[in-house]
Amino acid sequence: MGKNNVPKYVYYFGGKHADGKGDMKNLLGGKGAGLAEMTNLGIPVPPGFTITTEVCTAFYEHDRKWPEGLEEEIRENLTRLEEEMGAKFADPVNPLLLSVRSGARVSMPGMMDTVLNLGLNDTTAQGLIKRSGNPRFVYDSYRRFVHMYSDVVLEVPHEAFEEAIAAKKAARGVKLDMDLTADDLKELVEEYKDIARKHTGKEFPEDPWEQLRGSINAVFSSWNNQRAITYRKINGIPGDWGTAVNVQTMVFGNMGETSGTGVAFTRDPATGENVFYGEYLMNAQGEDVVAGIRTPHPISDLKAAMPEIYAELEQIYLTLERHYKDMQDIEFTIQDGRLFMLQTRTGKRTGTAAVRIAVELVEEGLIDKKTAVLRVPPAQLDQLLHPMIDAKAKTNVIAKGLPASPGAAVGRVVFTAAAAEEWNSRGEKVVLARTETSPEDIGGMHAAAGILTSRGGMTSHAAVVARGMGTCCVAGCGSLIISEKDKKITCGDLTISEGDWITLNGSTGEVILGQVPLVEPELTGNFGKMMEWADEFRALNIRTNADTPQDAKQARVFGAEGIGLCRTEHMFFAEDRIRAMREMILSDTEEQRRAALAKLLPYQKGDFMGIFREMDGLPVTIRLLDPPLHEFLPSLDQTKQIEELASDMGIHVQKVRDSIGALHELNPMLGFRGCRLGVVFSEIYEMQTKAIFEAACELVREGVNVMPEVMIPLVGTTGEIEMIREYVVRVADETIEEYGVDLDYMVGTMIEVPRAALVADKIAESAEFFSFGTNDMTQMVFGYSRDDAGKFLGEFIDRNVLKHDPFQSLDQEGVGQMVAMGVERGRSTRPNLKIGVCGEHGGDPDSVEFFHEVGLDYVSCSPYRVPIARLAAAQAEIKQPRK
Amino acid sequence: MGKNNVPKYVYYFGGKHADGKGDMKNLLGGKGAGLAEMTNLGIPVPPGFTITTEVCTAFYEHDRKWPEGLEEEIRENLTRLEEEMGAKFADPVNPLLLSVRSGARVSMPGMMDTVLNLGLNDTTAQGLIKRSGNPRFVYDSYRRFVHMYSDVVLEVPHEAFEEAIAAKKAARGVKLDMDLTADDLKELVEEYKDIARKHTGKEFPEDPWEQLRGSINAVFSSWNNQRAITYRKINGIPGDWGTAVNVQTMVFGNMGETSGTGVAFTRDPATGENVFYGEYLMNAQGEDVVAGIRTPHPISDLKAAMPEIYAELEQIYLTLERHYKDMQDIEFTIQDGRLFMLQTRTGKRTGTAAVRIAVELVEEGLIDKKTAVLRVPPAQLDQLLHPMIDAKAKTNVIAKGLPASPGAAVGRVVFTAAAAEEWNSRGEKVVLARTETSPEDIGGMHAAAGILTSRGGMTSHAAVVARGMGTCCVAGCGSLIISEKDKKITCGDLTISEGDWITLNGSTGEVILGQVPLVEPELTGNFGKMMEWADEFRALNIRTNADTPQDAKQARVFGAEGIGLCRTEHMFFAEDRIRAMREMILSDTEEQRRAALAKLLPYQKGDFMGIFREMDGLPVTIRLLDPPLHEFLPSLDQTKQIEELASDMGIHVQKVRDSIGALHELNPMLGFRGCRLGVVFSEIYEMQTKAIFEAACELVREGVNVMPEVMIPLVGTTGEIEMIREYVVRVADETIEEYGVDLDYMVGTMIEVPRAALVADKIAESAEFFSFGTNDMTQMVFGYSRDDAGKFLGEFIDRNVLKHDPFQSLDQEGVGQMVAMGVERGRSTRPNLKIGVCGEHGGDPDSVEFFHEVGLDYVSCSPYRVPIARLAAAQAEIKQPRK
């Protein structure tokens, strides 16, 4: 509160003391708080004052008028500023110039407006020329001001000014703004004013006070420009926060060769290395660095060029880093040999840098482990786990799809799974390009270094499987026409044929022509330390989704504490197995089905033994067959396959066709799959159960610690789980008795059908564990087919109808309610119910935090997401400890 | 309680007084209570006693042993019986014979066991022969007893006995049991005993007490035979209710030509006419009537044959009907010229009879209107609303499908919608036979008298549309192979070709060869009265689902109070409209789409004018476009249609093919449809809104009272409804202003996506009404595609994994929770929110009762279900009045 209990509207900073402090971001905005804090630290900051965010709110509440008393406070602070600077605003002899900048609570880069060099008019310009003896500098500043003010305050389209300066340079035969003379610039000032006059119908304002009022109002107004509104919506920033306005003494990097401006990071934001990193430009204002017309120098050059300034800057950055205990992103201006700091804020960084900086700050004693763990955005870890495109390489990006599975891959293009396997067996690195993939492509997907599809979303088959395998994938790249038939990719005029080299960046979705050098990941060192600390804090267990011993092994390397989802259907697609599977499907009687299943049993048993062995001592959740049976049959247009199948089985081709037709479904996602198969054809699940327990029992005899958890998919009613549980337990117990071993196991269910969450209390009576299948649950709660939603989900997010893709990050408002309900109701009848999640969301940090909050025991995600989940779980526990 | 505070196990009836009463069904079972009540009314009932249902429960709780004191009580009651009858159980001179019958709280016909003629052995048989002087009667009874006791108590397979009697008849050269002599029957008794001995390894029990104990235990045990367990599961009867046992003096209809047995109804159970209706057989026991070996006489013949008996029977049935105030189903036996009543219970009846009896009982002053309204099962009304197959006609049923839309249809078979329309235009009655129907078949479905499909469930397209139109439909008749290509139906060896006559019974699912005579419905008279009474009581409003003025008109006749669902997509399939629709879909730009939509606007406007006019003064809820766009395009194999379309639009065939391919969806149910179209292509909904309000405004000018309610389908998020509501309101207000009329309207949403129910509080902020789309909600809450679930739903119900088809009757346990949640949350932010339901469940009586209970304002159903819903709503209010 200011005097007389009216709110204090304006906070002064200068003379080594500020009214505000660094923790007053809500009131002063990020920039204002940073300027106040630097002032208090004794760092040279051009003095000025901050008009608070509350004024912005009041401005909007009162029809865009200033609250009473604001003008008076501004005048008081301006007087204080004039006294400190020994110059006067609007003074013809010794004029004080100002910058006016926005500054919200959180950085909204480029979204709001700025006016520099404010206070110039024809009179003050003359005063400044006399005092500085530098007419070129003054007219350069003046033309910048007229341009910027016209653009920002008067809303004159900026193209007109750019055309005017371009014409001037052409007329003078020069290339750079720098090469224009004082006279050229003086002429430009007049030309600019003409442009403004023509557009507004009024004279350009000469009165500095009018300029100041206009600029302050323009900054407030820019809080609600369309750009800023959209940015806030996307980033979830409330519209009533408002922006502060920073009015600051103008310092000039464009006063000549002893002046300049620069930006720097206190550590390398790409690698995290503890070196001072940045660039600067002499005789320039900040905007010139951004414009990229001249090439800036690396900050290290400043050491030689201006050793004293560099030493001072070094002292300041070290002070700031120690003060903020984090890497800072700073802006500075050198005015005629004197250093001024214009901004400090926490610097953005890569995942690699985030880990290294956090770990080294702990080692330097600046922060503790908890803080370090909170410092790394978990999703950034992804960058550390995959080969990456060398940041220094030049790339020829020809198309951009969805970043479906991170990492990078270089390979020669092939168009069929068979070709991928064949080329791979010859030692070739390949990228498998398909319109979309299907379960039959699994072999080829395994063989490929990267996968590219022209159709399908972030949770399409290709994307899900690729993430599961940790293989780089760019999905749904709609601008490519991939023709499997012609073995070529068409991209505009460009054609890529079989065998051509391409590079995929699965972290950005870029498709790059040719071979680009890659950098390999390192999992020890800083990364290892960070993971170790995360594990010290977290409450959630982290499991993995793995279908093969290889995946299981990889996941253990990444720290998985069990398998939360082992799908059994992928096991049926191999050449030697698919035949028996098809025989089973085409059988007419239970007897025939049992005979065919008997052929599959040894394969399944072998698969399970491999996985159990890898996961010795850790629980393994095995999901019984889930997909609809037609996925295992050829499609009706695969005439040759159908004929072979008929001939193999000794039945008529038409019978095969009829069976395929009969199994066809309009909405297979909602069809005859999951436990519905187990109800109608109990012999399938019985075989799988037998295979699981024979495998487990044999290993128990060998001394392996096997912890099987049998999971029944797609349960929606108590009838289903009661019926299936009954025979699973029977077969399991019979098998264990047969082998005469001791073996504990669990039988539980997926909770993915919405109805299952609604009746979770009843289902829990027959289930020892729940595993939320939030992929399918999202499909059903939203009514979105993940295979088809790509047609509109992008539009929905663009139009802000959806905040994010609910297949990537759990929809906590809707689907989250079902999860919370399932947990609460499930535990109401079985308090010790073990509960996990095995959808894609298990590896999404926001979702992991939610799962922690609703009390899950574990999350399960693809192997490459395990470290991310470990870190996210640690952060969740630190933020909201479980009692 | 009996003496000494131990429970009373046995209730005596006889001598014009019974220990029990008619309202003690829970304790005495239905039969026992009826016998007690008749005894108390002074009606001649063979005396006896009832062992309570509690004994049955105790029997199971104590390892199938009798509770202490039971035997003593039985002996006491038997002594009382012997005294009353002047005969003694097991007495060699004057033996008392008994019947032992089950009797649960509710009738479980044929599920449990009965033993008759108990107490016979070689000694008592001689006594009985001496007393009756009728050895044939005695041996007839004796052989019946040995057979029945062996079957029921000793579990000897009954075939052996049937073979023995068949052999005896063959040996004697006679055809009927009646023609066997006393000696033949005596021999049979011995042969039967041999059979029993061989099977059990023991002598057939001669001790009447052992026989009695065995029979009582057999009845108790039969409560838990597989048949009874299954019946109870299906009918929701608790397993712990138990059965009572009725031990009664045996009376004999087989004593000769002055003896007999019969069953009758106090009114005609088929028509409800107030006439005594039934049949009897002389010299027989009850089982002979059922066995159907001899043809029984109509009950009216008894008047001439035994006038005194008939008069007595008449007196009794009138007494019973007046006493029970409902039509009774009675059983009687005449023993040597003396009448005994063996049973009375409320009689089963047809819908027509139910209405007539209820109305006439009110007119006779026996019951009040509320009681009458409760007397008619609403689903039975269906029988009154459609043409029915004449019950007297002989039919040749060749197959049975699902009873998808009630009524009957006779017509000549055609295989395409075009043929149906063409034949119909020639005045031919046709039945449209298709593998399954699609929206393109609408015209032909309208033209057909009946629809037959070989694929699809109760909520397949054919079924839903047929019910909506009130057209008879048999769906999913899997035993027929319908070939549209060859224009024939194959059914085993039988082939039905185009033009052949068939008859469909949509109420039973029967497909009948040839033409069967039909009976037309009558909607006035008793039916009209019943409906009038129902309307006096109900709280729910009843609306209809109607897409055409004809449907709307029909529904008003049936009493609809508005349209709850007017689908707009069916309007686009007519020849002249589909072209513009396709043009719209194949457009590349918004501008092209708007141009195509402008062509559709006049059609839509005309449709709406027709409907609004019919519904003058009643609300009309119009759902904006819902299905995915690909439904309006030809499929990829319709080469000719694609070529025509390309040529019409002047574009390349490949472009049409590409568009069809691009719109293809793997799970269209969960795809790009409903309000998702309205988000991405707002111009579609804008056109529809404009058409609605132009139509409404023009009619307002004409003085029609139009009450439009615009309904946005498939909303799952607040973003969707906020965005669409904004432009719908804008277009509506602009149009109203343009016309300068006064018009109130509402904008609301379907609640069908589960997520919508979860966030109903937020959605209600932008919706003035909710309409639950429980069809789609059932699909998503269960994860069942209604088009595909036919593959397993039948099995699920057969295996008792599901209690009923959730598409026919609302799943109150699961989907019902979502409905209740939507209602509660919606009204939490908008207390006056209008809420209805417009799924198929709106016409299902159980579901209507649920919707009444959760507080909906209305239900909407197909026109032919409106009367059913009116009655169900009245019953719901009577059972559970809204405060």
Q: How many CB pairs under 8 A join A and B?
A: 174
Question: What would the pLDDT profile of A385-397 be if each residue is shown by its tens digit?
Answer: 888 888 778 889 9
Question: With an 8 Å Cβ cutoff, are B815 and A779 in contact?
Answer: no
Q: How many residues are there in chain B? A: 883
Residue A824 has a pLDDT of: 98
**Is A636 in the B-facing interface, judged by CB distances under 8 Å?**
no
Strand order of the β-sheet with A430-434 is A397-400, A510-513, A501-505, A408-414, A430-434, A450-453, A472-475, A402-405
Question: With an 8 Å Cβ cutoff, are B670 and A714 in contact?
Answer: no
What is the Cα–Cα distance from A788 to B671, expressed in whole angstroms? 6
Angle at A774 between CA A768 and CA A775, to 5 degrees: 130
Q: Out of A669, A672, A814, whose CB is closest to B670?
A: A669
What is the Cα–Cα distance from A583 to A78, expressed in whole angstroms? 88
Task: Find, in chain B, the residue whose alpha carbon is nearest to that of A787.
Answer: B666
Q: How many residues are there in chain A? A: 883
| Beta bridge partners of residue B835, listed in sequence order | B770
Interface residue of A758, A778, A807 to substitute, partner B, most B CBs within 10 Å: A758
Residue A2 has a pLDDT of: 46
Question: With an 8 Å Cβ cutoff, are B754 and A753 in contact?
Answer: no
Max CA separation in chain A (angstroms): 106
Give the torsion through C-alpha atoms of A583, A589, A595, A596, to 10 deg: 20
Selected residue with higher pLDDT from A450 and A379: A450
Query: Cα distance from A852 to chain B (closest Cα, Å)?
Result: 21
Residue A460: pLDDT band with limits 50, 70, 90: confident
Residue A1 has a pLDDT of: 43
Helices (H), A615-652: 639-649
Give the torsion through C-alpha atoms of A262, A266, A267, A269, to 10 deg: -50
At B826, list the tokens: 């919606």
Catalytic residue among A56, A566, A675, A838: A838
Query: Looking at residues A821-836, what average pLDDT do you find?
Result: 98
Residue B621 has a pLDDT of: 98
Q: How far is CA A589 from CA A279, A592, A594, A681, in A?
A: 77, 5, 9, 10
Task: Return residues 804-823 of B near A (CB < 8 Å).
Answer: 811, 813-815, 817-818
Selected residue with higher pLDDT from A348 and B748: B748
Q: Which residues of A touch B814 (CB under 8 A)?
A: 716-717, 754-755, 758-759
Question: With an 8 Å Cβ cutoff, are A783 and B716 in contact?
Answer: yes
B292, pLDDT greater than 70:
no
Query: Cα distance from B110 to chain A (closest Cα, Å)?
Result: 27
Determine how many CB atoms are found less than 10 A away from the CB of residue A354.
24
At A67, list the tokens: 């609250």
Question: What would the pLDDT profile of B71-123 be if each residue is shown by its tens digit?
Answer: 999 999 999 999 999 999 999 999 999 999 999 998 887 778 899 999 999 99
Residue A4: pLDDT band with limits 50, 70, 90: low
Q: Out of A667, A679, A792, whose CB is closest to B667?
A: A667
Q: Which residues of A touch B720 (CB under 8 A)?
A: 801
Is A838 marked active-site? yes
Q: How far is CA B71 from CA A762, B206, B217, B244, B495, in A?
A: 42, 19, 12, 15, 66
Question: With an 8 Å Cβ cutoff, are B796 and A719 in contact?
Answer: yes
Catalytic residues of B: 461, 838
With CA atoms as reference, report the closest residue to B250 among B128, B76, B93, B166.
Answer: B128
Question: What would the pLDDT profile of A565-594 be if each residue is shown by its tens digit?
Answer: 999 987 888 777 888 999 999 988 899 999
Residue B2 has a pLDDT of: 45
| Beta bridge partners of residue A400, listed in sequence order | A510
Residue A627 has a pLDDT of: 94
**Is B791 in the A-facing interface, judged by CB distances under 8 Å?**
yes
Q: A198-219 burial, b if ≥16 CB within 10 A, otherwise e?
A: eeeeeebbeebeebbbbbbbbb
Residue A293 has a pLDDT of: 62
Say if residues A509 and A403 touch (Cβ distance below 8 Å): yes
Query: Cα distance from A764 to chain B (closest Cα, Å)?
Result: 15
Consecutive H or E run containing A173? none
Determine how many CB atoms are found less than 10 A away from the CB of residue A177.
21
Question: With an 8 Å Cβ cutoff, are B723 and A801 in contact?
Answer: yes
Question: What would the pLDDT profile of B194-253 be if each residue is shown by its tens digit?
Answer: 999 999 999 999 999 999 999 999 999 999 888 788 778 767 788 889 999 999 999 999
**Is B666 in the A-facing interface, judged by CB distances under 8 Å?**
yes
Question: With an 8 Å Cβ cutoff, are A791 and B672 in contact?
Answer: yes
Question: What would the pLDDT profile of B459-474 be if each residue is shown by its tens digit?
Answer: 677 887 787 677 899 9
Q: Which residues of A touch B784 (CB under 8 A)?
A: 670
Is A570 marked active-site? no
Residue B6: pLDDT band with limits 50, 70, 90: low
Q: What pTM was estimated for this model as a whole? A: 0.83
Question: With an 8 Å Cβ cutoff, are B789 and A671 in contact?
Answer: yes
Say if residues A478 and A608 touch (Cβ distance below 8 Å): no
Selected residue with higher pLDDT from A631 and A828: A828
Determine how many CB atoms are found less than 10 A away from the CB of residue A623.
26
Query: Cα distance from A863 to chain B (closest Cα, Å)?
Result: 28
Task: Find, in chain A, the residue whose alpha carbon is nearest to that of B680.
Answer: A795
Percent of chain A at pLDDT above 90? Answer: 73
Question: What would the pLDDT profile of B669-682 be if each residue is shown by its tens digit?
Answer: 999 999 999 999 99
**Is B655 in the A-facing interface, judged by CB distances under 8 Å?**
no
Q: Lowest-pLDDT range, A460-474, A536-550, A771-785?
A: A460-474
Question: With an 8 Å Cβ cutoff, are A665 and B785 in contact?
Answer: yes
Interface residue of B459, B460, B676, B793 to substitute, partner A, most A CBs within 10 Å: B676
Query: Looking at residues A122-137, what average pLDDT do you find?
Result: 94
Residue B289: pLDDT band with limits 50, 70, 90: low
Percent of chain B at pLDDT above 70? Answer: 98
Residue A575 has a pLDDT of: 76
Selected residue with higher pLDDT from A851 and A7: A851
Question: What would the pLDDT profile of B435-455 be if each residue is shown by its tens digit?
Answer: 988 877 888 898 899 999 998
Residue B750 has a pLDDT of: 98
Residue B560: pLDDT band with limits 50, 70, 90: very high
B540, pLDDT greater than 50:
yes
Q: Which residues of A touch B671 (CB under 8 A)?
A: 785, 788-789, 791
What is the Cα–Cα distance from B863 to B841, expressed in whole angstroms? 13
Catalytic residue among A147, A446, A461, A630: A461
Its sign, for the CA torsion B843, B849, B854, B855, is positive
Query: Cα distance from A718 to chain B (closest Cα, Å)?
Result: 8
Residue A465: pLDDT band with limits 50, 70, 90: confident
Task: Return residues 679-718 of B near A (CB < 8 Å).
Answer: 679-680, 714, 716-717
| Averaged pLDDT of chain A | 92
Interface residue of B725, B788, B802, B825 to substitute, partner A, most A CBs within 10 Å: B788
Q: Residue B840, SS3?
A: helix
Task: Find, in chain B, the residue whose alpha carbon is nearest to that of A680.
Answer: B795
Question: What would the pLDDT profile of A163-183 be if each residue is shown by its tens digit?
Answer: 999 999 999 999 888 889 999
Task: Return residues 179-218 of A near B (CB < 8 Å).
Answer: none
Residue owning tokens 């049998």: A710
Question: What would the pLDDT profile of B577-591 be if each residue is shown by its tens digit?
Answer: 888 999 999 988 899
| Averaged pLDDT of chain B | 92
Residue B1 has a pLDDT of: 43
Question: With an 8 Å Cβ cutoff, are B780 and A776 in contact?
Answer: no
